[in-house]
Amino acid sequence: MKKKKWLSRAFGVAAAACMTVSGFSVYAEEAVVYDSMNPPIVEVEGGKLRGFMNENTYSFLGIQYATAERFGQPQPVEPWEGVKDAQVYGAVCPTNKMTEVSSDEFVWPHRYYPSNETCQYLNIWTQHLDETAKKPVMVFLHGGAFSNGASNETVAYDGKNLSEFGDVVVVTLNHRLNVLGCLNLSEYGEEYENSGNTGMADIVAALEWIQDNIEQFGGDPGNVTIFGQSGGSGKVVTLMHMPEAEGLFHKAIAESSGTASVLLEEESLKITELTLENLGLDESEVDQLKEIPYEDLLEAADAALATVKEEVGRNISWRPLQDNEYVMEEYCDFAAEIPFIAGTNFSERSSTVFIGDGRKNEWSEEETYANLTEMYGENADEIIEEFNRLFPEKKTADAYFYAPSYRNNVRSALENKIESATAPVYNYLFAFEAPVNGGVTPFHCAELIYVFHNVELPELTIATGGTQECLDMQDVVAQAWVNFAYTGDPSQEGLEWKPYSEVENGTMVFDVNSQFKVLDDQKMVDLMTAK
């Protein structure tokens, strides 16, 4: 679907009529001008919210969708009198304190924000305040595993430009994380039922709020797409394992993962037992966990998690609890009908941001061969041959930065979804190299700048290089995500994207010259991951 120009976007909707002009629908809106002196007000369940105009986009930030006591289930917000401001982001979930600047800060600029255990807030950007507009709703679940992150943690998560580009309603949200979202106290009393999944319960509560209220923001509650990256990808897939989530969304996109990472019940109970022990508490004193300062609670729980991780010998972290009641081991039946996209970035955590000498595009053939031999030993020659066959438009040096394990993870996720799917399943590889710092191969998170159509935000223009190729790239990627939200098919004019379920290894490769191709890279991946 091509972007449509909509009339009177800077005007409010006191009344609206739909009419047809030259074959497509437009809105004739009554000229109630919203601006900084007259911000838009919307009534939702509970009361009225005052947003603001960001150019022509209606913006409502920091909407509280639920409330909860520590370890308790989310509850509806009490109704309020008058008009509540929804003009700034709400508090984020507490996490480990940041003490160092991250190595990717230049190319992935962060924003750190006040935290509070009451963190159930969401943000909405929309082009319409008309209940009849029925625009697709795109709900983003942030990364950071289930340990950290927030809906406004990075500049790239701003939803204004995606909403404007695609004429969609964009929603981002915060929820409980780490020990607050995943500590399983269910064996210590009925009041702690489902405490191992309070983070996912928050997300369900947000999706329920969207079902009940999104029409007032021009959205269609019958057409909700959830999309998430990294840990957010895990949240997307986990929702398809949750009976409680049935009917709350209709399409799903999992970026840089595609698996439902979970804690098993035995693991989660052991973590809780050790947390109490680390705090010097016995089972009869479990209620004291509600009052212990967050920093002390997290330190004790993280130490317990580390101990259990060592004992079980698998890479566990704060994750939802797979109890086969709230979170099931297998996909729920409704997931079969959910169109699904899963993909990965070319370099992920092996980008030029993290490895190499910053001279990748200057390496001679001798340097390239030496570097690949140092990394892959006797497999280097075969890897070079396979890489040049698969990516003839790239430099051989780029093979040094390929992320093979992520390709395995996503392929496994796709094949697992296909087993029971009646809806199409799609695959992508984001391979676009940003023309900045000598060339930055696509790192973990990089595609989100383009998905959210945010290259032209000042910090991200600097981070990407902001060239015409970058601007073109955001048009292509954002259009694919928007088209998928509208129809369940991410194809666009001049760029057909066939389902992975129909074309073995069929992959949309996003690059300077994006193309759908059979990317049979398993041999190369196996060579790269050989012990």
Q: Say if 11-255 and 339-529 have the same CATH topology.
A: yes
Return the pLDDT at 100: 85
Relative to beta strand 425-430, strand 506-510 is: parallel
Look at residues 387, 335, 337 and name the one whose alpha carbon lies nearest to residue 527.
387
Look at residues 323, 132, 303, 361 and name the one whose alpha carbon lies nearest to residue 242.
323
208, 213, 215, 217: CA torsion to nearest 10: -120
Return the pLDDT at 294: 97
Query: Nearest 5°: phi and psi at 61?
Result: -115, 150
Q: Taking a C-beta distance cutoff of 8 angstroms, is the pair 334, 423 a contact?
A: no
21-50 pLDDT, tens digit per residue, is: 333 334 444 457 888 889 999 999 999 999
Query: How far apart are the C-alpha atoms of 3 and 167, rounded to whole Å?
Result: 7
Helix, strand counts (H, E) of the chain: 13, 20
Return the pLDDT at 25: 38
Look at residues 142, 137, 186 and name the one whose alpha carbon lies nearest to residue 163.
137
Length of the chain: 531
Return the pLDDT at 31: 56
Calculate the average pLDDT of the chain: 93
Q: Taking a C-beta distance cutoff of 8 angstroms, is the pair 263, 182 a contact?
A: yes
Q: Taking a C-beta distance cutoff of 8 angstroms, is the pair 470, 510 a contact?
A: no
**Fold classified for 11-255:** Rossmann fold (3.40.50)
Q: Taking a C-beta distance cutoff of 8 angstroms, is the pair 117, 199 a contact?
A: no
Kindly state the DSSP code that residue 92 receives in the 8-state scheme: B
Q: What is the pTM of this model?
A: 0.93
Return the pLDDT at 531: 67
Token readout for 347 is 């370099």
Q: Which CATH code is given to the segment(s) 339-529?
A: 3.40.50.1820
Q: How many CB atoms lie within 10 A of CB 270?
A: 19
Q: For residue 75, what are the contacts with CB-CB under 8 A and spacing of at least 6?
A: 66, 67, 68
Q: Where are the domains of the chain?
A: 11-255, 339-529
Return the pLDDT at 33: 80
CA 306, chain centre distance (Å): 26
Query: How far apart are the C-alpha atoms of 145 and 231, rounded to whole Å?
Result: 4
Q: Taking a C-beta distance cutoff of 8 angstroms, is the pair 183, 290 a contact?
A: no
Query: How far apart are the C-alpha atoms of 351 and 104, rounded to whole Å?
Result: 10
Question: For the chain, which residues score pLDDT lower than 50?
Answer: 1-30
Relative to beta strand 121-126, strand 83-85 is: unpaired
Return the pLDDT at 458: 97
